[in-house]
Amino acid sequence: MATKTIGASEIKKCFLAGAANLEAKKEWINELNVFPVPDGDTGTNMTLTIMSAAKEVNNLTSPNMESISKAISSGSLRGARGNSGVILSQLLRGFTKVIREHDEVDSIILATAFNKAVETAYKAVMKPKEGTILTVAKGMADKILELCTSISDLEDLFEKVIKYGDEVLKQTPEMLPVLKQAGVVDSGGQGLMQVMKGAYDALMGKEINFTAGPEVKTNVAFSEEKEIDTADIKFGYCTEFIVMLEKQFGSREESEFKAYLESIGDSIVVVADDEIVKVHVHTNHPGLAFEKGLTFGSLTRMKVDNMREEHEERLIANASAIAQGKAESPATEPVEEEPVENKKYGFIAVSAGEGLSEIFQSLGADYIIEGGQTMNPSTEDMLNAIDKVYADNIFILPNNSNIILAAQQAQSIVEDKNIIVVPTKTVPQGITAMINFAEDCSPEDNLETMKEEIARVKSGSVTYAVRDTEIDDKLIKQDDIIGIGDKTILAVGNDIESVTAEMIDQLMDDESELISLYFGADVTEEAANELSSKLEEKYPDVDIEVNYGGQPIYYYILSVE
């Protein structure tokens, strides 16, 4: 029998099946990374993004189209990681904007939803590039729009749309030469196709077992910590929750909500978008905050921490550690404390590696989000960090091209602070941006100066290849050492030092004055200093700086300025 309409329960099954199929294929998708590096993460980022939404969808016992749309949209929005994850979240966001208005959807409504998804995703990307997940999504949206008036059977319609999506995916190497050189299709597009195929299996009646995996948390490190007396904690419970909006929540309602929270506590943070409100408050009556939130919708992610109790336990633990000569590092488990008055500027930097994090902290970073190349932080990680930086203007340094979109998505959600995303694509660019910050300049002038200075930084990184490939006429074998520049692979060989030196040779020019080396967890300080000595002999008029980065996977991160 033909299926001409589907309701919320079928949408739930199809969405969970799509998420499960993507999760099952994530490692295969990771291997489609253009560069054969060990941190190919498109499959991981897309999976973590959709799983954030799938967990909320899975918890809906009697979903209607409105509730399931909210769960999909808000869950994927908060969980979005990496460029592919952010784009996937925007596709889902646009799709749900249409279906939420209907009790059931047919071929016409689905076609409208597909095209709204593509429109929303393209708007989210400043410079859309064809040959990517966007191209695959647009291809399917065009095809379903073409067929929706002549094919009412959704099973038949989905089969044809997916078949066409695969055809578009196969053409992505012809649109992006770098894909053709690497011999792969676009990984983001492949991830989207796996979501579609999983959803189609569910539509056809295939039983899919969805299992919500463990929650992935990104560490946020405080740059400093002050000891406080429990008697000084005026409001003892750190209370956090998210309101899944079911009623109007405009500027007037938001102001009234904040005023109420201020009457029962302090350290108020209320971040709202079209579908959710994220709330943080220190209060002595968490139940009152929850009850007020319930007047606007249902609650999720409810969390209450007794700050006095936690502080006492921490003092005991630190005293014990001190007695054993191993006091706890102040940058791991932050103590909630009485908020201070907002300062003018704050900084959030993304970093991977103990040494790199210490460098950013020494330059004035308030919070470090531990993530970077090997684990891209989510939009929610960004929002959590923003919540805890007491500054009117907050600069975010993504330090990775694959994290910029998630930072910008967080920027678009926050209204009570001025969030400035500095488009730093590498750690050296992030360090340069902070060095060139001027406290007495405006946010706009600082951003302009930072952009100008990071444009002068030529960055590189050294790692190993995880598969055979050929890129830019360079034949690469698995386990080769490769030096990657800002846009392409610059050096290939069998020795870390020689590959690093060759890459630096290509980055140098007559105006170069400084070489900065950040050695990773798998490189000894002795080896780094030995390389530095050889570079000093070769470039006697250039300053050489060597710093411990501690980053995984990458033997060296470096820059030439």
Helix (H), strand (E), coil (C) string for 483-523:
EECCCCEEEEECCHHHHHHHHHHHHCCCCCCEEEEEECCCC
- Cα Rg of the chain (Å, integer): 25
For the whole model, what pTM was predicted? 0.69
**Distance linking the first and last C-alpha atoms of the chain:** 67
Which residues share a beta bridge with 66?
none
Nearest-angstrom CA–CA distance, 422 and 425: 9
Provide the angle, in degrees to the nearest 10, between the axes of the packed helices 133-147 and 187-203.
40
Q: What is the CA 165 to chain-centroid distance, rounded? A: 26
Each residue of 87-118: pLDDT tens digit? 999 999 999 999 999 999 999 999 999 999 99
Each residue of 464-504: pLDDT tens digit? 988 888 887 788 898 899 999 988 899 999 999 999 999 99
pLDDT at 139: 96
As a whole-number percent, the residues of the chain with pLDDT over 70 amount to: 86
Q: Determine contact, residues 315/290, Cβ cutoff 8 Å.
A: no
Q: Determine contact, residues 328/375, Cβ cutoff 8 Å.
A: no
pLDDT at 225: 38
With 90 as the cut, is the pLDDT of residue 177 above it? no
Q: Determine contact, residues 187/13, Cβ cutoff 8 Å.
A: no
> 129 or 70, which is more confident?
70
* 8-state DSSP, 301: E
Mean pLDDT of the residues in the chain: 85
| Strand-by-strand arrangement of the 367-370 sheet | 220-222, 367-370, 343-351, 391-397, 418-421
pLDDT at 211: 63
Q: Return the structure tokens found at 346.
A: 């704050």
